[in-house]
């Protein structure tokens, strides 16, 4: 046990060609070494565990190697390389800026920079978490960083590039490290497992790689943990249980239930997931990722975007062929919106269950969607179900539903007379004749008569009057914001297109939510089904009203410059 070394340290790369997933960095550094074009300072940026410090150490060892290979790699045989590998090199100085971030710490480092190396050409100063340095420490470091001695090279590493002051960035060559692909991490773990005589299932290593989220050091730590738990035999089932990861089978099972509209099975499966201790939000995110993978699997050109094993790719491809493209797109949009609303929801489980119910009926046939309209109306704000009737068709019955609940019956002659006398429409008589011949007791609520408007010519004044009436109606119904938006909108009408110009994005989103309902009502009032609607935002910028004391004072002083003079003379203090 005393000799145990964690995999992240034991298998830390010692050469550029063994660094995982950062070829764009290592190739640049090797070329700089070969061509002897070394900068005085480098800034390595990127997430944790992706090789920033490792590359810095390899760079420090390589530039002091006395026998560099043609490929720009250290020889590991010379005195400098041997001292570096044994940890006895005096040419590498590492500083942890998280705990040594004061001006004094930087001044001590600057004092050491003056001394030349005893062995080799360069002394390399590696400063980890450099963003943790105080502003004063940064300023004390600037001059040395810009014009260091010939033998001094600085490598700064950080996970938060945005916290580095611009004067440091301008004095350094910046290298951005990427998150490592799950496929590359999985291959590296396979290499470690074989060296450690650990048997494994490829799917188990894939789960570890995905759990690491692009960090190789995290992956090595999880690997060591799993080896200790499973006893040198990594299985997919054990890794999933220990890491608290949802099994792929759950998602495949739920999507199959979506496609068959088996809502009870979906709800029971979700309840089973919660009972096993999984978080509903994590389940939702996992379901979104599963649907995304199905969408990617529908095209052979995008299958390469899947970071999963080959066996699983085939399973995704099979289920993807069963999923309509429209279903996947609408499902992903619903999952995304539910994810955004999750934290603010008071009943989070109900929110997820409502999304699952909606997903279950997304693949229902069009006629079924019409029958279930009342059942699904509760979900309209999440993802409105498309109506089956074409927009060009309007209901022959203009009376409210409750007035025809008694289903009055008509004889064929009565029905023909009733529909023929409807004003302003042209009736498809062939359909009417067939309907009349089929039954002598036709129920008006059951037999929909298809007809079109005569599409009368409409003027701009009629459009404005129609929209104003609609606005007043919405004001009476309590939709004050929508009514005000329509009243303030600039209305133009040309070639059957209504253009509403509003003031901001919020108003556009508000109109977009009711666009189809609004357009249907306008078409009916104008008796023209060809009328379209375009919503635009005004390009004229409105001046923001000042609220804070500083803004109010600034606005007042622009009107009366004497206020600034008075503030200076009497040393007045403004609440900022």
Q: What is the pLDDT of residue 351?
A: 92
What are the CA-CA distances from residue 460 to residues 207, 466, 496 (Å)?
62, 10, 10
- Same domain membership, residue 408 and residue 289: no
Q: What is the pLDDT of residue 415?
A: 42
176 beta partners: 45
User: What DSSP character marks residue 520?
Assistant: H
- Same domain membership, residue 35 and residue 51: yes
Residue 555 in any domain: the answer is no
Q: In the structure encoding, which two tokens stand for residue 297, read together? A: 């699997």
Q: What is the pLDDT of residue 430?
A: 43
Residue 494 in any domain: the answer is yes
Minimal CA–CA distance to 502: which of 494, 490, 492? 490
Contacts of 576 by beta carbon, 8 Å cutoff, 6+ apart: 548, 549, 550
CATH number at 219 reads 1.10.8.60
Q: In the structure encoding, which two tokens stand for residue 82, read together? A: 């041997």
- 3-state secondary structure at position 43: strand
- Same domain membership, residue 359 and residue 258: yes
Q: What is the pLDDT of residue 333?
A: 92
Residues in the chain: 576
- Same domain membership, residue 368 and residue 285: yes
Residues 508 and 537: beta-carbon distance below 8 Å: yes
- 3-state secondary structure at position 106: helix
Residue 5 in any domain: the answer is no
Alpha-carbon gap, residue 476 to 279, rounded angstroms: 44
- Same domain membership, residue 46 and residue 168: yes
Residues 371 and 388: beta-carbon distance below 8 Å: no
CATH number at 161 reads 3.40.50.300
- Same domain membership, residue 64 and residue 114: yes
C-beta atoms surrounding 143 within 10 Å: 11
- Same domain membership, residue 30 and residue 156: yes
Residue ending a domain, among 217, 242, 267, is 242
Residues 376 and 321: beta-carbon distance below 8 Å: no
- Same domain membership, residue 147 and residue 101: yes
Residue 139 in any domain: the answer is yes
Minimal CA–CA distance to 287: which of 226, 358, 219? 358
Residue 294 in any domain: the answer is yes
- Same domain membership, residue 334 and residue 255: yes
Alpha-carbon gap, residue 223 to 205, rounded angstroms: 8
**Residue whose structure tokens are 């509403």:** 500
Domain count, the chain: 5
CATH number at 346 reads 1.20.272.10
- Same domain membership, residue 216 and residue 125: no
CATH number at 510 reads 3.30.300
Q: Is the dihedral of CA 63, 66, 69, 73 positive or negative?
A: negative
Alpha-carbon gap, residue 261 to 282, rounded angstroms: 23
- Same domain membership, residue 79 and residue 155: yes
Q: What are phi and psi of 539, to 5 degrees?
A: -80, -10
* Residue 487 belongs to domain spanning: 460-537
Residue 387 in any domain: the answer is no
Residue 551 in any domain: the answer is no
Alpha-carbon gap, residue 55 to 109, rounded angstroms: 21
- Same domain membership, residue 508 and residue 487: yes
Q: What is the pTM of this model?
A: 0.54
Alpha-carbon gap, residue 26 to 382, rounded angstroms: 47
Residue ending a domain, among 379, 409, 434, is 379
Alpha-carbon gap, residue 1 to 212, rounded angstroms: 26
Q: What is the pLDDT of residue 365?
A: 65
Alpha-carbon gap, residue 173 to 169, rounded angstroms: 8
Alpha-carbon gap, residue 199 to 156, rounded angstroms: 39
Minimal CA–CA distance to 51: which of 165, 220, 207, 241? 220
pLDDT per residue as tens, the chain (576 positions): 457 788 888 888 888 888 888 889 999 999 999 988 888 899 999 888 888 889 999 998 898 888 888 888 888 888 888 888 888 888 888 888 888 888 888 888 888 888 888 777 888 889 888 888 888 888 888 888 888 888 888 999 998 888 888 888 888 889 999 888 888 888 889 888 888 888 888 888 888 888 887 888 888 888 888 888 887 888 888 888 787 777 788 888 899 999 888 999 999 999 988 888 888 898 899 899 899 988 888 887 887 777 776 667 888 888 888 888 889 999 999 999 999 999 888 899 999 999 999 998 887 765 544 444 444 443 444 444 444 444 443 333 344 444 334 444 444 454 444 444 443 333 444 444 444 444 434 333 533 333 355 677 888 888 888 888 888 888 888 888 888 888 888 888 888 888 888 888 778 888 888 888 888 888 888 888 888 888 888 876 445 555 567 777 777 877 788 777 777 777 777 654
Residue 91 in any domain: the answer is yes
């Amino acid at each position: 046990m005393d000799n145990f070394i964690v995999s992240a340290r034991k298998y830390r790369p010692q050469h550029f060609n063994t660094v995982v997933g950062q070829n764009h960095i290592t190739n640049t550094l090797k070329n700089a070494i070969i061509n002897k074009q070394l900068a005085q300072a480098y800034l390595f940026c990127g997430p944790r565990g992706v090789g920033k410090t490792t590359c810095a150490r390899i760079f420090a060892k390589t530039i002091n190697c006395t026998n560099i290979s043609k490929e720009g790699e250290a020889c590991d045989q010379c005195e400098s390389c041997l001292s570096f590998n044994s940890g006895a090199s005096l040419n590498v100085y590492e500083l942890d800026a998280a705990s040594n971030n004061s001006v004094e710490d930087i001044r001590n480092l600057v004092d050491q920079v003056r001394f030349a190396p005893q062995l080799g050409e360069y002394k390399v100063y590696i400063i980890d978490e450099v963003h943790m340095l105080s502003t004063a420490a940064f300023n004390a470091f600037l001059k040395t960083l810009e014009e260091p001695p010939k033998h001094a090279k600085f490598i700064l590493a950080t996970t938060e590039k945005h916290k580095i002051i611009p004067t440091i960035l301008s004095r350094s060559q910046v290298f951005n490290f990427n998150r490592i692909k799950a496929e590359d991490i999985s291959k590296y773990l396979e290499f470690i497992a074989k060296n450690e005589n650990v048997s494994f299932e490829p799917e188990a290593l894939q789960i570890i790689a995905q759990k690491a989220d692009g960090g190789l050091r995290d992956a090595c730590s999880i690997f060591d943990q799993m080896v200790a738990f499973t006893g040198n035999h990594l299985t997919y089932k054990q890794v999933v249980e220990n890491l608290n990861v949802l099994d792929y089978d759950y998602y495949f099972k739920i999507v199959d239930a979506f496609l068959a509209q088996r809502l009870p099975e979906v709800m029971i499966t979700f309840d089973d997931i919660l009972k096993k201790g999984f978080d509903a939000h994590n389940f939702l995110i996992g379901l979104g990722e599963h649907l995304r993978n199905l969408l990617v699997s529908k095209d052979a050109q995008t299958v390469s975007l899947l970071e999963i094993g080959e066996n699983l790719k085939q399973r995704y491809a099979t289920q993807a062929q069963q999923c309509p493209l429209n279903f996947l797109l609408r499902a992903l949009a619903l999952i995304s919106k539910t994810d955004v609303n999750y934290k603010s929801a008071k009943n989070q489980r109900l929110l997820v269950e409502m999304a699952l119910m909606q997903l279950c009926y997304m693949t229902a046939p069009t006629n079924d969607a019409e029958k279930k309209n009342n059942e699904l109306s509760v979900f309209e704000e999440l993802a409105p179900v498309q109506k089956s009737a074409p927009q060009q068709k309007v209901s022959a019955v203009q009376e409210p539903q409750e007035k025809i609940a008694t289903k009055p019956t008509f004889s064929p002659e009565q029905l023909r007379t009733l529909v023929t006398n409807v004003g302003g429409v042209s009736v498809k008589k062939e359909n009417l004749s067939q309907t009349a011949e089929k039954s002598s007791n036709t129920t008006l609520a059951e037999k929909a008569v298809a007809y079109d408007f005569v599409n009368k010519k409409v003027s701009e004044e009629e459009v404005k009057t129609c929209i104003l009436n609609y606005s007043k109606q919405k004001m009476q119904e309590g939709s004050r914001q929508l009514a005000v938006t329509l009243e303030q909108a600039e209305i133009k009408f040309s070639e059957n297109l209504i253009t509403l110009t509003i003031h901001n994005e919020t108003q556009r989103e508000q109109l977009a939510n009711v666009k189809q309902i609004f357009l249907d009502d306008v078409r009916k009032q104008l008796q023209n089904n060809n009328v379209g609607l375009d919503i635009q935002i005004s390009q004229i910028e409105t001046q923001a009203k000042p609220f804070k004391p500083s803004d109010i004072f600034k606005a007042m002083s622009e009107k009366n410059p004497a206020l600034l003079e008075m503030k200076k003379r009497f040393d007045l203090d403004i609440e900022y």
